[in-house]
Structure 1
Amino acid sequence: MGFTRTRDLLAVGLVAAIAGFLLVSLAYSSIPPLPRLAGAAPALLGVAEAIAGAGLRSRIRARREGGVAERPPVPPLTAARAMMTAKATSLAGAALAGLWIGLLLYVVPKASTVDAAADDTATGAIGLVGSLVMIGGALFLEHCCRTPPEERPRPDRDR
């Protein structure tokens, strides 16, 4: 399993933005009011993954540096599961960000004339920021699953 590529996140976000814009433009009048803090849940998930990544990274580094580990080493299966979770979360965050962008593309031009669109602009901005925090936390967790490179002894050049 490889690390998440930026182009994968951009592709998912672009498809979701197009789909979100089309869905909102077709059904905006029948959508119920969006909760203002709907984008807070993805942000909380991103923060939780970043915290988990920091703990995981400290356990991986303590084991590699040969120090006395206060906690047991990270089993390889745990690191693989964390990696899969991070990859799935970053892609889901990209999809959510795309949907919020699609909503914003529809409501921002109407915000000065439609009260609901003005409210949904703030909601969409909060949701977009929450989705970006989700992506950032997932990418940080993914980065923390990397093992530090092994240091190889340099051969003496005097011989």
Structure 2
Amino acid sequence: MTFTKGRDLLAAGLGSAALVFLLLKLSYSGLPPLPRLAGLVLLVIAAIDLGLAVSLRARILRKPGAEPVQPLTAARAVALAKASSVLGAIMAGAWGAVLLHVAPARGRFPAADNDLTSAVVGLVCAAALTASGLWLERCCRTPDEPERRA
């Protein structure tokens, strides 16, 4: 398994942004208002990733008093990390597209004002999920593994 590359996350984010922006252009007037705190689910997942990263980091670095990590546990953590970072990139693209769509109309339509807040919250939470997924993946590297840049 290879580590997540920035270009893969960028491609996922831009792809989802283009698709969501197109869908919004075609059907925004028929959509209900977005919940203001819809993006907080992503923040909860990010917090779980961070907690797991802190827990695994000491164990993988073999710090005194920390019990060793089973290989299957580490593999599952890496899979979660990759999924989290990709989901965060996809959702950042989607929320970014919402932001780009509603920002110009924020003074003219009340729904756009509400959706602007939703988009900002979602974008921030998606960025936090991407960052925490990448951090968890980094924490799962073995100490003797050389650093590689993508």
Partner of 1:37: 37
- The equivalences for 1:107-122 within 5 A come to 107-122=102-117
Moved over 4 A (4+): none
5+ residue gaps, structure 2, are 146-150
Taking the aligned partners of 2:6 and 2:50, their CA distance within structure 1 comes to 18
Taking the aligned partners of 1:130 and 1:52, their CA distance within structure 2 comes to 18
Query: TM-score if structure 2 supplies the norm length?
Result: 0.92
Larger Rg: 1
The residue type paired with residue 2 of structure 1 is T
The residue type paired with residue 127 of structure 1 is G
Taking the aligned partners of 1:120 and 1:21, their CA distance within structure 2 comes to 14
Partner of 2:20: 20
Partner of 2:47: 47
Instruction: Indicate whether 1:60 and 2:60 are aligned.
Output: yes
Aligned residues: 145
5+ residue gaps, structure 1, are 151-159
Taking the aligned partners of 2:72 and 2:44, their CA distance within structure 1 comes to 25
2:140 is aligned, of 141, 145, 154, to 145
The residue type paired with residue 92 of structure 1 is L
The Cα of 1:149 is off from its aligned counterpart by 2.0
Root-mean-square deviation (CA, aligned residues, Å) is 1.2
% same residue: 46
Taking the aligned partners of 2:101 and 2:55, their CA distance within structure 1 comes to 41
3-state SS of paired residue (2:82)? helix
The Cα of 1:72 is off from its aligned counterpart by 2.8
The Cα of 1:19 is off from its aligned counterpart by 0.5
Partner of 1:157: none
Taking the aligned partners of 2:25 and 2:126, their CA distance within structure 1 comes to 21
3-state SS of paired residue (1:32)? coil
The Cα of 1:40 is off from its aligned counterpart by 0.6
2:73 is aligned, of 78, 101, 116, to 78
Partner of 1:6: 6
Query: TM-score if structure 1 supplies the norm length?
Result: 0.87
Q: Deviations over 1:27-64 (max 9, x none)?
A: 1111111110001110111111011011001111125x
